């Protein structure tokens, strides 16, 4: 393909702007590079966001591009907002009009403009993971498979993996069918894509593969956007998957003004399709590419940086670089050696209190990072016992709560009534006399006649259905149509939402239930209305479709509030891009961190090591590693081996701290010698008296503490109704303590501990 060179729009470029003086030599070189492919290898804490920001500001200030000619792609909305604000601070209004956002938000915007060319309406719905899995579950049932045996989640993951590699249903069988599960996935994938089109819907992966389809099938559309986006900048390039690589390669092929910023040492998302080869092979894709390394770290102390470097150097696949810093040496890294996970949580929380006293830190200066979400529970309990506020990142999103999904489904129907998942979710929510048999009859009719469900219920009088149900369906359709008409006539989104909540009976049902849970759900619905009001006030032309798109693309990191006065609990994956004065990396044990083989796949030790490197480099001043010698797994206590990564850290910068924070008198799986040796090494005052399980706190709540409370994972119990069982999990504290018990004759039950009347069985 013939290459084109974009000439500066002014014959006399301005002299270099003063703001470039804020950059170091390598940063300045990257920011002032204007034409041709550029690879910026940005080590952790080296100021990559600053370089991207200054580079865009430089292109605009020097008249190398107009704002609308620049496409900047990020992985979080937070990063995009931060960059936009910085650019405006540098050059003012010249920054308005930039195309800047996440891959999904930018390409969904393009797809809304061009949807008809690939068979969609511009008001298409965006299915989140739950919607996709529900659609797959429905297909499994129709094909006479049991969703309890063949998990919709597993099928969805396999389909998502295929999409990320741009493998469509027609090619799936030739590429993937090696087992019965693959064969089933191939059938479901084909039907699933048809259902999405029938529902005028796309899932998250479609937002990346549909643009590739659009550009390949319509070269004129591709050229339009190539000429539109003459400068393309991509953040976190090491995290791109094949679909993201392909769509940006297509856009950049005409002018090759593509700048990618990334760090191969922070490539940690292969589980969702990220391909480290994209950054490693960038100079093969663009032979004339300039490479600029950013190696000066501004975030961490020398000891923390030395620790990170000693670990990552063990990897074979990497771009050579050595980070350095002018910061102080700082404290040595502290390794906490714990008896078990409860001991670990106690010790971490006490160190948080000590650091607050010594340095005047606030709660939001601390992060506890772990490999998997389930590890949060024990730290939540320890923080609550000490009265320390915390925020859990990666838990249940506000927008994933049942009542919020219900309301959003109602709103979705006002924009896209063909959305089958939204329709099935709320056609009988709250109950309006449209039972499962009626819905199954409608679905069978839709499949047999190859019609959309909305089309059938719009003409419900023609259907052979239970007469009272037909009347209720007619009322439901009339309500939706009337609300759609109001929306189209100019009634505000907020007013239509309030009318919908009233006319559907949804709010009335919550009020009449009058339980604590129902009142909480009502408050959540009211909070959603607040979000709609805010959206209306901050958009010149508020549009319901845009509101639904905006909230559907919220990422986990976007939910993190750095100003909230709370200790942050999150997985290492979720912590990427963040930084904290003090970081605790916990659970550093074999088969936990690094994670062992899963789902028949080989363990990816190099990626696990990169994950450890990411965790280390979140720390600014204080870094703690932590592992436990014992840990409960599946309700049984197991011995743990410390992580191999701990042996890769430079031993000259590590101080080990052992000792037990809890009494060991009742432990079944520890020897007397081991328990006493731990107790003798206690370095802090852990001797505050524990309350018995029947004592009362100052608030009057019953307290259940570990030494006197027998109800923890592994305990065999008797229930007066369900019979014998075994506790497999426990959560909450005080009167909110819950246990999950597997009963031999009744299966798994979740019980409030204070009301369960459990008796301990001697084994």
3-state secondary structure 640-690: CCECHHHHHCCHHHEEEECCCCCCCCCCCCCCHHHHHHHHHCCCCCCCCCC
* For the chain, percent of residues with pLDDT exceeding 70: 87
* Alpha-carbon distances, residue 723 vs 634, 646, 710, 756 (angstroms): 20, 45, 18, 12
Predicted confidence (pLDDT) at residue 8 exceeds the cutoff of 80: no
> 193-202, 234-243, 600-609, 728-737 — which is least confidently predicted?
728-737
**Residue where the block lists tokens 């529970």:** 377
* Alpha-carbon distances, residue 330 vs 89, 325, 595, 662 (angstroms): 33, 12, 30, 30
pLDDT at 15: 59
> Among 76, 48, 165, which Cα is nearest to 560's?
76
Q: Which of 223-227, 383-387, 391-395, 659-663 has the highest mean pLDDT?
A: 223-227
Residue pair 748/736 in contact (Cβ under 8 Å)? The answer is no
SS3 label, residue 313: coil
Over residues 663-685, mean pLDDT: 35
Over residues 244-250, mean pLDDT: 96
- Give the residues across from 623 on adjacent strands: 583
In degrees, to the nearest 5, what angle opens at C-alpha 748 toward C-alphas 747 and 750?
A: 145
Q: How confident is the model at residue 733 (pLDDT cuts 50, 70, 90)?
A: low
Over residues 405-425, mean pLDDT: 94
pLDDT at 300: 96
CA–CA gap between residue 239 and residue 261 (Å, rounded)? 11
Token pair listed for 300: 């961490």
Q: How confident is the model at residue 599 (pLDDT cuts 50, 70, 90)?
A: low
Residue pair 200/418 in contact (Cβ under 8 Å)? The answer is yes
Predicted confidence (pLDDT) at residue 677 exceeds the cutoff of 80: no
Quote the mean pLDDT of the chain. Answer: 85
Higher pLDDT, 538 or 685: 538
The tens digit of pLDDT for each residue in 64-88 reads 889 899 999 998 888 888 888 888 8
Token pair listed for 645: 């990564």
> 1-15, 293-307, 629-643 — which is least confidently predicted?
1-15
DSSP class of 479:
H
Over residues 630-654, mean pLDDT: 85
The tens digit of pLDDT for each residue in 476-521 reads 999 999 999 999 999 999 999 999 999 999 998 888 887 778 888 8
Q: How confident is the model at residue 201 (pLDDT cuts 50, 70, 90)?
A: very high
Residue ranges of the binding site: 42-49
Token pair listed for 449: 């006649």
Residue pair 463/472 in contact (Cβ under 8 Å)? The answer is no
* Alpha-carbon distances, residue 96 vs 100, 365, 366 (angstroms): 10, 34, 36
pLDDT at 705: 36
Sign, CA dihedral 581-587-588-593, equals negative
Predicted confidence (pLDDT) at residue 9 exceeds the cutoff of 80: no
CA–CA gap between residue 276 and residue 268 (Å, rounded)? 9
The most distant pair of C-alpha atoms in the chain lies apart, rounded to whole Å, by: 89
DSSP class of 434:
-
> What is the rounded (10 degree) CA torsion for 617, 623, 624, 625?
30
> Among 339, 267, 345, which Cα is nearest to 624's?
345
Over residues 238-257, mean pLDDT: 95
Token pair listed for 360: 């005047």
pLDDT at 504: 93
Residue pair 466/456 in contact (Cβ under 8 Å)? The answer is no
> What is the rounded (10 degree) CA torsion for 7, 246, 555, 622?
-80
Residue pair 590/641 in contact (Cβ under 8 Å)? The answer is yes
The tens digit of pLDDT for each residue in 652-672 reads 999 999 876 654 443 433 333
Question: Global pTM?
Answer: 0.73
> Among 548, 608, 571, 540, which Cα is nearest to 122's?
548
**Helices first, then strands: H and E counts in the chain:** 28, 22
Q: Where are the beta strands (DSSP E) in 111-241?
A: 125-127, 201-203, 231-234
> Among 446, 443, 445, 438, which Cα is nearest to 465's?
438
Residue ranges of the binding site for ATP: 42-49
Count of other CB atoms within 10 angstroms of residue 6:
17
Q: How confident is the model at residue 134 (pLDDT cuts 50, 70, 90)?
A: very high
> 42-56, 173-187, 486-500 — which is least confidently predicted?
173-187
Over residues 397-416, mean pLDDT: 89
> Among 409, 364, 418, 417, which Cα is nearest to 391's?
364
Count of other CB atoms within 10 angstroms of residue 310:
16
CA–CA gap between residue 573 and residue 237 (Å, rounded)? 16
Query: Residue 385, class by beta-carbon neighbours within 10 Å (0-12 exposed, 13-18 middle, 19+ buried)?
Result: middle
DSSP string, 233-266: EESSGGG--HHHHHHHHHHHTTT--EEEEE-GGG
Residue pair 377/731 in contact (Cβ under 8 Å)? The answer is yes
pLDDT at 476: 93
CA–CA gap between residue 280 and residue 269 (Å, rounded)? 15
Catalytic residues: 48-49, 235-236, 266, 618
Count of other CB atoms within 10 angstroms of residue 743:
17
pLDDT at 216: 96
């Amino acid at each position: 393909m013939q290459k084109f060179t974009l000439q500066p729009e002014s014959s006399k470029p301005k002299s270099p702007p003063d703001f470039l003086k804020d950059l170091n030599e390598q940063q300045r070189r990257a920011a002032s590079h204007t034409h041709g492919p550029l690879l910026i290898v940005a080590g952790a804490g080296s100021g990559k966001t600053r370089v991207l920001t200054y580079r865009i500001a430089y292109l605009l200030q020097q008249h190398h591009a107009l704002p609308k000619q620049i496409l900047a792609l990020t992985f979080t909305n937070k990063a995009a907002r931060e960059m936009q604000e910085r650019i405006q601070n540098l050059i003012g209004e010249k920054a308005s009009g930039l195309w800047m956002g996440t891959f999904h938000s930018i390409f969904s915007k393009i797809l809304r403009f061009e949807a008809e060319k690939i068979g969609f309406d511009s008001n298409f719905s965006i299915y989140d993971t739950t919607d996709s899995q529900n659609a797959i579950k429905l297909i499994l049932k129709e094909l006479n498979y049991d969703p309890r045996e063949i998990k919709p989640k597993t099928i969805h993951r396999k389909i998502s993996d295929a999409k990320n590699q741009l493998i469509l249903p027609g090619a799936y069988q030739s590429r993937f069918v090696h087992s019965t599960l693959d064969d089933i996935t191939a059938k479901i994938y084909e039907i699933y894509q048809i259902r999405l089109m029938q529902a005028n819907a796309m899932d998250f992966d479609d937002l990346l593969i549909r643009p590739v389809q659009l550009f390949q099938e319509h070269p004129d559309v591709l050229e339009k956007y190539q000429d539109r986006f003459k400068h393309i900048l991509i953040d976190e390039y090491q995290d791109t998957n094949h679909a993201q690589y392909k769509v940006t390669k297509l856009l950049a092929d005409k002018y090759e003004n593509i700048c990618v910023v990334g760090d191969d040492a922070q490539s940690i998302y292969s589980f969702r399709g990220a391909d480290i080869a994209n950054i490693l092979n960038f100079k093969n894709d663009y032979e004339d590419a300039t490479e600029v390394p950013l190696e000066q770290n501004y975030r961490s102390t020398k000891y923390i940086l030395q620790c990170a470097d000693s670990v990552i150097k063990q990897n074979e696949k990497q771009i050579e670089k050595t980070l350095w810093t002018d910061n102080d040496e700082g404290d040595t890294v502290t390794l906490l050696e714990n008896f078990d996970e409860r001991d670990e949580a106690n010790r971490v929380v006490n160190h948080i209190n000590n650091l607050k006293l010594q340095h005047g830190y606030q709660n939001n200066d601390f992060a506890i990072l772990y490999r998997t979400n389930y590890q949060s529970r024990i730290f939540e309990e320890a923080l609550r016992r000490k009265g320390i506020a915390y925020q859990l990142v990666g838990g249940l999103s506000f927008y994933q709560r049942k009542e919020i999904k219900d309301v959003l489904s109602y709103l979705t129907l006002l924009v896209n009534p063909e959305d089958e998942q939204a329709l099935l979710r709320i056609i009988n929510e709250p109950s309006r006399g449209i039972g499962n048999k009626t819905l199954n009859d409608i679905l069978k009719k839709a499949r047999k006649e190859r019609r959309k469900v909305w089309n059938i219920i719009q003409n419900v009088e023609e259907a052979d259905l239970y007469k009272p149900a037909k009347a209720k369906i007619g009322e439901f359709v009339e309500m939706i149509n009337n609300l759609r008409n109001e929306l189209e006539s100019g009634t505000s989104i907020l007013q239509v939402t309030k009318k919908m909540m009233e006319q559907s009976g949804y709010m009335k049902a919550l009020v009449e239930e009058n339980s604590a849970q129902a009142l909480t759900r009502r408050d959540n619905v009211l909070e959603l209305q607040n979000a709609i009001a805010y959206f209306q006030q901050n958009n010149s032309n508020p549009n319901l479709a845009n509101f639904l798109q905006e909230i559907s693309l919220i990422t986990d990191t976007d939910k993190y509030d750095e100003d909230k006065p709370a200790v942050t609990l999150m997985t290492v994956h979720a912590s990427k891009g963040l930084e904290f004065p003090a970081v605790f990396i916990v659970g550093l044990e074999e088969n936990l961190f690094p994670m062992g083989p899963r789902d028949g796949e080989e363990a990816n030790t190099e990626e696990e090591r990169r994950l450890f490197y990411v965790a280390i480099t979140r720390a600014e001043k204080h870094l703690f590693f932590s592992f436990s010698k014992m840990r409960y797994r599946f309700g049984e206590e197991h011995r743990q081996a410390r992580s191999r990564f701990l042996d890769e850290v430079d031993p000259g910068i590590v101080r080990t701290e052992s000792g037990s924070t809890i009494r060991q008198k009742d432990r079944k799986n520890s020897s007397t010698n081991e328990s006493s040796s731990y107790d003798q090494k206690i370095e802090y005052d852990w001797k505050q008296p524990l309350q018995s399980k029947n004592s009362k706190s100052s608030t009057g709540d019953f307290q259940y503490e570990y030494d006197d409370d027998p109800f923890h994972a592994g305990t065999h119990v008797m229930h007066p109704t369900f019979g014998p069982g075994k506790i497999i999990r426990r959560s909450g504290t005080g009167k909110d303590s819950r246990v999950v018990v597997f009963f031999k004759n009744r299966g798994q039950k979740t019980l409030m501990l204070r009301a369960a009347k459990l008796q301990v069985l001697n084994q």
